[in-house]
């Protein structure tokens, strides 16, 4: 029944809290050993529920979860041997850093020497040596976070779960912690299942990302593939910025399709979810794939009127009225070259049809 | 000039410092006026009775003023044998004056507190003294009743000589100061107060313990259940608060008496034979049951307020790190609830140690507490100074417990809500 390759396997898992609504629907997910998998999705999409089922704090209503090919639904959380980092760190406030880290080792009845050695190693891994005697409330948010990570790893679990661990940190600290966690993962090769609603976090850290919505995995693939080739309009709109055109397919041939827009005009795009003429679709185009003054070989070339310029420091976002879409965003690098980018001006914009992905018409 | 710091002026030329002080003074006055009514109220109803009680408990001027000449004459008496004729004469003169002013009854009451048996012999002396002849008062008084010839009674009178005395405090712990000024215990069979103090502490301790054992799971449930159930449960916990204490105690009487509901039920299910119905009232058991129930909310509320702040993820963290449910509870959850346990225990213990109505109604002889004794002296023997002394000892005891608690746990650790 189980595949020998996957380390963690969700097999047709359903979960309902009230017996009326399924928060997780028919979930199938395979996680390989040593992988860094991120469950990404808006709140209420079922990602945290999945993590809690894996940790053992929730039981699946239906289906089974396998860890190392063994079903674990009947195993209580303290016997699963899975490390976990919680959203608010969940450090024991009445124990010192040392005692916090020693807790999982003491319950495993390790000798004092071994405990000392392991705590030392774990603390140096998160560069917090010398903080043993501190109480958690004497540490900064970032330090508490690192202690929480060290504690989840100190007993050498094969699998570590992280539930939005960086949510409470400020932007700069969050970014440096992302690298730190990524490096720890690379160094010790532990399997990590990470839950977040921050897409940039997911893109930076993961080997694969599972995008959750509505209790289902919408797409499971590597970060670059997820960004470049979203399989449906939810993923396209959830990951990164997106220009969308709603319309109807008028012609489909040779790996290209013509889409007549609801706002008027027609564009050429790459048919991903559409199969035949007459289908409704939503075309998705990344802002950075559209350029000003397009080259001759580009098959989509239009004129747009500048509605607004939003300054972002290193680049500016230019909002255009293009083919009746007043929300068309263009990213323009901050340089002195383009002085004609002013509000009210008309500019030429173009893109390759393969970057304009015609997806399902469903909107979020 | 430049080395001098320049005074900053406000726009109308007044130094900033002065101007600021003026504003602050206004605010302080406003704050004081807001607090003043309560402060005044507390002074009148709380501080002044305590001071009055303190004064009352050591004040013994009534007796001193009643027998002025006697006490002067007694100064030379060593207290070993019967006093001299001089003392008897002085006593006779003082006593005649008391009879004139009809104050000898009060004296007899006071002396009777000191030593039983004074009441009747003073009455007798009053009758007989009308026909006393002048001179040789010692023999005449001794002839009235044999107790007047007992040196113990004269010693008792002498003990009441000082205007202020702490003898009531000694009496409160079954002790007195003998002729040589040593503190000695009263005879074995007359020691009642010490036993009562010990019983009060014991009952307060066990009531606190029972409250803790029952409140802990309830508080935990309250803190973890979803809102719609926990609200209902909270109402159940608070419901007794909305019912009169007297009514609650009376209902316990209905439940616990020998022909009461609990006994009827036990007989009905066959656990207890009809002629061996349990005695659960008018003894310690009744006091334990009723007081535990009545004081339970005082334990539940502080515990609940502390448990509410403990994040459920801490317990989950404990489990995910490999702690069994018991270890996680004992090492993680329990230590975090200690501030609540401390607050609840202190509250229940202090309330229990001075409890009155419930032990009075359901306690009987073996289940009454020190406050019942205080009330007895207030209402029945009218020995207010002794009642005051015991009240103050109770207050001192509570303060001592508070102090010990502060040393052990730290009062800052308390969380009441």
B211-233 burial string, b = 16+ CB within 10 Å, else e? bbeebbebbbebbeeeeeebeee
pLDDT average, residue stretch A8-21: 88
Q: How confident is the model at residue B2 (pLDDT cuts 50, 70, 90)?
A: very low
Residue B13: which domain range? 1-59
For position A118, what pLDDT does the model report? Answer: 92
Assess contact for A42 and A199: CB atoms under 8 A.
no
**E-strand spans in A158-234?**
159-163, 191-196, 208-213, 216-221
Chain A interface includes B331 (CB < 8 A): yes
Task: Please provide the size of chain A in residues.
Answer: 364
Q: How confident is the model at residue A39 (pLDDT cuts 50, 70, 90)?
A: very high
**Chain A residues touching B314 at Cβ < 8 A:** 90, 92-93
B241-245's contacts with Cβ under 8 Å and 24+ in sequence apart are B241/B297, B245/B294, B245/B357, B245/B358
- Cβ A84–B316 below 8 Å, yes or no? yes
From A84, A87, A94, residue closest to B320, measured CB to CB:
A84
Pairing between strand A325-333 and A159-163?
A: unpaired
> What angle (nearest 5°) sits at the alpha carbon of residue B184, between those of residues B179 and B190?
110
pLDDT average, residue stretch A20-24: 87
pLDDT tens readout for residues B165-197: 888 888 888 888 776 678 888 888 888 888 899
Domain boundary among B163, B184, B205: B163
Chain A interface includes B226 (CB < 8 A): no
- Cβ A104–B321 below 8 Å, yes or no? yes
Q: How far is A92 from chain B (nearest CA, A)?
A: 7
pLDDT average, residue stretch A177-196: 90
Q: How many CB atoms lie within 10 A of CB B6?
A: 7
Assess contact for B83 and B154: CB atoms under 8 A.
yes
pLDDT tens readout for residues B394-411: 999 889 988 888 887 776
Query: What's the mean pLDDT when you consider all of chain A?
Result: 86
Residues 285-314 of B with CB under 8 A from A: 311, 313-314
Residues 132-161 of A with CB under 8 A from B: 151-152, 155, 161
Is B176 within a domain? Answer: no
Q: Which residue has the higher pLDDT, A277 or B246?
A: B246
Q: How far is A253 from chain B (nearest CA, A)?
A: 55
Q: How confident is the model at residue A1 (pLDDT cuts 50, 70, 90)?
A: very low
For position A337, what pLDDT does the model report? Answer: 67
- Stretch among A141-155, A157-171, A335-349, B268-282 having the lowest mean pLDDT: A335-349
For position A37, what pLDDT does the model report? Answer: 92
Do B202 and B316 lie in one domain? The reply is yes
- Cβ B321–A88 below 8 Å, yes or no? no
Do B49 and B71 lie in one domain? The reply is no
Query: What's the mean pLDDT when you consider all of chain B?
Result: 86
- Cβ B323–A107 below 8 Å, yes or no? yes
Is B173 within a domain? Answer: no
pLDDT average, residue stretch B323-328: 92
Report d(CA B172, CA A356) in Å as an integer: 96
Query: Percentage of chain A surpassing pLDDT 90?
Result: 24
Q: Which residue of A has its CA nearest to B333?
A: A92
Pairing between strand A325-333 and A315-322?
A: antiparallel
Measured over the CA atoms of residue B281, residue B282, residue B287 and residue B291, the dihedral's sign is positive
Assess contact for A349 and A322: CB atoms under 8 A.
yes
For position B5, what pLDDT does the model report? Answer: 60
Q: How many CB atoms lie within 10 A of CB B30?
A: 10
DSSP secondary structure code for residue A279 in this structure: -
Q: Counting beta carbons within 10 angstroms of the beta carbon of residue A327, is it exposed (0 to 12), middle (13 to 18) or buried (19 or more)?
A: exposed
Q: How far is A128 from chain B (nearest CA, A)?
A: 20
Do B14 and B68 lie in one domain? The reply is no
Q: How far is A289 from chain B (nearest CA, A)?
A: 44
Q: State both tokens at A250.
A: 């008028």
For position A26, what pLDDT does the model report? Answer: 87
Do B273 and B366 lie in one domain? The reply is yes
Q: State both tokens at A334.
A: 């901050």
Do B115 and B73 lie in one domain? The reply is yes
Is B37 within a domain? Answer: yes
Report d(CA B181, CA B187) in Å as an integer: 17
For position B314, what pLDDT does the model report? Answer: 93
Q: Which residue of B has its CA nearest to A90?
A: B314
Do B156 and B202 lie in one domain? The reply is no
Chain B interface, mutation test: which of A51, A67, A75, A78, most B Cβ atoms within 10 Å?
A: A78
Q: How far is B315 from chain A (nearest CA, A)?
A: 9
Assess contact for A261 and A245: CB atoms under 8 A.
yes
Pairing between strand B183-185 and A357-359?
A: unpaired
Structure ipTM = 0.79
Do B47 and B84 lie in one domain? The reply is no
**Chain A residues touching B319 at Cβ < 8 A:** 56-57, 76-78
**Chain A residues touching B316 at Cβ < 8 A:** 55, 57, 77, 84, 86, 90
Do B409 and B260 lie in one domain? The reply is yes
Do B223 and B313 lie in one domain? The reply is yes
pLDDT average, residue stretch B348-352: 92
Is B384 within a domain? Answer: yes
B102-107's contacts with Cβ under 8 Å and 24+ in sequence apart are B103/B66, B106/B62, B106/B66, B107/B63, B107/B66, B107/B67
pLDDT average, residue stretch A26-46: 89
Q: How many CB atoms lie within 10 A of CB A227?
A: 17
pLDDT surpasses 80 at A295 = no
Top-tier CATH class for A8-233 = alpha beta
Do B46 and B143 lie in one domain? The reply is no
- Cβ A94–B336 below 8 Å, yes or no? yes
**E-strand spans in B181-252?**
183-185
Report d(CA A244, CA A224) in Å as an integer: 20
**Chain B residues touching A152 at Cβ < 8 A:** 320-321
DSSP secondary structure code for residue A58 in this structure: S
Chain A interface includes B328 (CB < 8 A): yes
Q: How confident is the model at residue A91 (pLDDT cuts 50, 70, 90)?
A: very high
Assess contact for A259 and A247: CB atoms under 8 A.
yes
Is B187 within a domain? Answer: no
B369 phi/psi in degrees, rounded to 5? -115, 180
Chain B interface includes A57 (CB < 8 A): yes
Do B121 and B70 lie in one domain? The reply is yes
Q: What is the edge-to-edge ordering of all strands in the sheet holding A300-311? A: A291-292, A346-351, A300-311, A315-322, A325-333
Chain A interface includes B327 (CB < 8 A): yes
Domain count, chain B: 3
From A83, A92, A108, residue closest to B332, measured CB to CB:
A92
Assess contact for A174 and A205: CB atoms under 8 A.
no
Chain A interface includes B320 (CB < 8 A): yes
Chain B interface, mutation test: which of A87, A92, A109, A161, most B Cβ atoms within 10 Å?
A: A92
Any bridge partners for residue A308, and if so which? A319
For position B221, what pLDDT does the model report? Answer: 92
pLDDT surpasses 60 at B417 = no
CATH 3.40.50.300 residue ranges of chain A are 8-233
Do B201 and B54 lie in one domain? The reply is no
Q: How confident is the model at residue A5 (pLDDT cuts 50, 70, 90)?
A: low
Domain boundary among B10, B38, B59: B59
**Chain B residues touching A78 at Cβ < 8 A:** 319-325, 328
pLDDT tens readout for residues A135-181: 999 998 889 989 999 999 999 998 999 998 888 788 888 888 888 88
- Cβ B319–A92 below 8 Å, yes or no? no
pLDDT surpasses 50 at B414 = yes
Query: Percentage of chain B surpassing pLDDT 70?
Result: 96
Is B177 within a domain? Answer: no
- Cβ B322–A55 below 8 Å, yes or no? no
Assess contact for A292 and A322: CB atoms under 8 A.
no
Assess contact for A359 and A232: CB atoms under 8 A.
yes
pLDDT surpasses 50 at A103 = yes
Q: How confident is the model at residue B337 (pLDDT cuts 50, 70, 90)?
A: very high
Tell me the three state secondary structure of residue B328. Answer: helix
Assess contact for B340 and B219: CB atoms under 8 A.
yes
- Cβ B336–A86 below 8 Å, yes or no? no
For position B149, what pLDDT does the model report? Answer: 86
pLDDT surpasses 50 at A2 = no
For position B174, what pLDDT does the model report? Answer: 86
Which H or E element spans position A185?
helix A171-188
Q: How confident is the model at residue A339 (pLDDT cuts 50, 70, 90)?
A: low
Question: Which residues, other chains included, contact B153 with Cβ-Cβ below 8 Å and sequence gap of 6+?
Answer: B115, B117, B118, B121, B147
Question: Cα–Cα distances in Å, from B195 out to B43, B192, B366, B381?
Answer: 34, 5, 11, 20
pLDDT surpasses 90 at B236 = no
Any bridge partners for residue B105, and if so which? none
Q: Is the pTM of this model over 0.80?
A: no
pLDDT surpasses 50 at B3 = no
- Stretch among A94-98, A207-211, B125-129 having the lowest mean pLDDT: B125-129
pLDDT surpasses 50 at B265 = yes
pLDDT tens readout for residues A239-286: 888 888 888 888 887 778 888 888 877 888 888 877 777 788 888 888
pLDDT tens readout for residues B23-58: 899 999 999 999 999 999 999 998 898 898 888 888
Assess contact for A93 and B336: CB atoms under 8 A.
yes
From B311, B323, B335, residue closest to A90, measured CB to CB:
B311
Assess contact for A132 and A123: CB atoms under 8 A.
yes
Q: How far is B5 from chain A (nearest CA, A)?
A: 40
Q: How confident is the model at residue B118 (pLDDT cuts 50, 70, 90)?
A: confident
For position B1, what pLDDT does the model report? Answer: 45
From A92, A104, A151, residue closest to B314, measured CB to CB:
A92
CATH number 2.40.50 given to A234-290+301-359: yes
Report d(CA A140, CA A135) in Å as an integer: 11
pLDDT average, residue stretch B3-27: 80
Rounded to a whole number, what is the distance in angstroms from the first to the last CA of chain B? 58
Is B396 within a domain? Answer: yes
**Chain A residues touching B321 at Cβ < 8 A:** 78, 83-84, 103-104, 107, 151-152, 155
Report d(CA B355, CA B395) in Å as an integer: 13
Distance from chain centroid for Cα B150:
37
Q: How many CB atoms lie within 10 A of CB A29?
A: 19
CATH 2.40.50 residue ranges of chain A are 234-290+301-359
Chain B interface includes A83 (CB < 8 A): yes
Domain boundary among B59, B94, B109: B59
Q: Which residue of A has its CA nearest to B319?
A: A78
Q: What is the edge-to-edge ordering of all strands in the sheet holding A62-67? A: A22-31, A8-16, A62-67, A70-71
pLDDT surpasses 80 at A338 = no
Is B168 within a domain? Answer: no
Q: Which residue of A has its CA nearest to B317?
A: A90
């Amino acid at each position: 029944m189980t595949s020998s390759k996957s380390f963690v396997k969700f097999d047709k898992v359903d979960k309902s809290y009230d017996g009326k609504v399924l928060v997780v629907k028919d979930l199938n997910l395979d996680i390989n050993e040593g992988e860094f998998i991120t469950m990404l999705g808006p709140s209420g999409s079922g990602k945290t529920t999945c993590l809690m089922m894996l940790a053992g704090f929730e039981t699946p209503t239906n289906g089974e979860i396998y860890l190392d090919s063994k079903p674990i639904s009947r195993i209580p959380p303290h016997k699963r041997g899975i490390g976990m980092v919680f959203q608010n760190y969940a450090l024991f406030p009445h124990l010192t850093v040392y005692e916090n880290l020693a807790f999982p080792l003491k319950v495993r009845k390790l000798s004092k020497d071994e405990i000392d050695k392991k705590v030392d190693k774990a603390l140096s891994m998160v560069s917090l040596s010398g903080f043993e005697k501190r109480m958690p409330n004497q540490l900064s948010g970032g330090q508490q976070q690192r202690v929480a990570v060290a504690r989840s790893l100190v007993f050498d679990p094969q699998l570590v779960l992280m539930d939005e661990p960086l949510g409470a940190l400020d932007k700069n600290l969050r970014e440096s912690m992302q690298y730190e966690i990524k490096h720890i993962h690379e160094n010790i090769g532990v399997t990590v299942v990470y839950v977040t609603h921050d897409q940039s976090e997911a893109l930076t850290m993961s080997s694969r990302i599972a995008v959750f919505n509505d209790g289902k995995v919408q797409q499971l693939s590597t970060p670059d593939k997820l960004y470049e080739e979203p399989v449906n309009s939810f993923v396209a709109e959830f990951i990164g910025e997106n220009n969308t055109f709603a319309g109807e397919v008028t012609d489909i041939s040779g790996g290209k399709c013509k889409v007549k827009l609801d706002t008027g005009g027609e564009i050429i795009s790459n048919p991903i979810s559409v199969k035949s003429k007459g289908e409704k679709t939503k075309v998705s185009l990344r802002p950075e794939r559209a350029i000003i003054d397009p080259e001759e070989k580009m098959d989509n070339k239009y004129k747009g009127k500048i509605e607004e310029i939003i300054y972002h420091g290193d680049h500016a976002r230019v909002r255009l009225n293009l083919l009746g879409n007043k929300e068309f965003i263009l990213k323009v690098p901050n340089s002195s070259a383009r002085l004609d980018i002013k509000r009210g001006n008309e500019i030429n914009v173009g893109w390759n049809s393969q970057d304009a992905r015609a997806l399902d018409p469903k909107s979020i | 000039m430049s080395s001098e710091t320049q005074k900053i002026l406000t726009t109308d030329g007044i130094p900033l410092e002065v101007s600021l002080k003026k504003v602050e003074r206004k605010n302080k006055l406003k704050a004081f006026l807001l607090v003043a009514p309560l402060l005044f109220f507390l002074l009148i109803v709380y501080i002044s009775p305590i001071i009055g009680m303190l004064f009352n408990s050591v004040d013994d001027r009534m007796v001193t003023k009643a027998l002025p000449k006697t006490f002067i004459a007694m100064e030379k008496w060593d207290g070993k044998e019967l006093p001299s004729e001089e003392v008897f004469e002085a006593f006779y003169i003082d006593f005649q004056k008391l009879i004139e002013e009809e104050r000898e009854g009060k004296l007899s009451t006071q002396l009777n507190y000191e030593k039983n048996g004074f009441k009747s012999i003073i009455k007798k002396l009053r009758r007989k003294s009308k026909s006393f002849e002048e001179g040789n008062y010692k023999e005449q008084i001794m002839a009235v009743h044999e107790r007047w010839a007992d040196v113990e009674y004269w010693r008792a009178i002498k003990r009441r000589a000082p205007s202020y005395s702490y003898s009531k405090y000694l009496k409160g712990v079954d002790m007195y100061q003998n002729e040589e000024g040593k503190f000695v215990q009263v005879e074995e069979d007359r020691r009642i107060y010490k036993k009562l103090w010990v019983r009060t502490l014991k009952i307060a301790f066990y009531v606190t313990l029972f409250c803790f054992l029952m409140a802990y799971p309830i508080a935990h449930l309250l803190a973890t259940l979803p809102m719609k159930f926990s609200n209902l449960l909270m109402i159940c916990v608070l419901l007794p608060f909305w019912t009169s204490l007297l009514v609650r105690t009376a209902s316990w009487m209905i439940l616990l008496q020998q022909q009461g509901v609990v006994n009827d039920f036990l007989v009905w299910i066959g656990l207890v034979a009809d002629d061996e119905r349990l005695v659960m009232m008018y003894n310690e058991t009744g006091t334990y049951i009723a007081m535990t129930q009545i004081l339970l909310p005082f334990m539940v509320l502080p515990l609940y307020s502390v448990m509410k702040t403990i994040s459920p993820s801490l317990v989950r963290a404990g489990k995910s790190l490999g702690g069994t449910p018991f270890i996680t509870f004992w090492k993680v959850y329990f230590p975090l609830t200690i501030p609540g346990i401390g607050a609840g225990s202190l509250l229940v213990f202090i309330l229990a140690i001075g409890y009155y109505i419930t032990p009075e109604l359901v306690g009987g002889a073996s289940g009454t507490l020190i406050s019942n004794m205080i009330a007895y002296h207030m209402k029945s023997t009218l020995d207010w100074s002794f009642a005051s002394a015991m009240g103050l000892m109770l207050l001192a005891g509570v303060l001592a417990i508070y102090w010990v608690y502060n040393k052990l746990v730290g009062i800052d650790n308390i969380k009441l809500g």
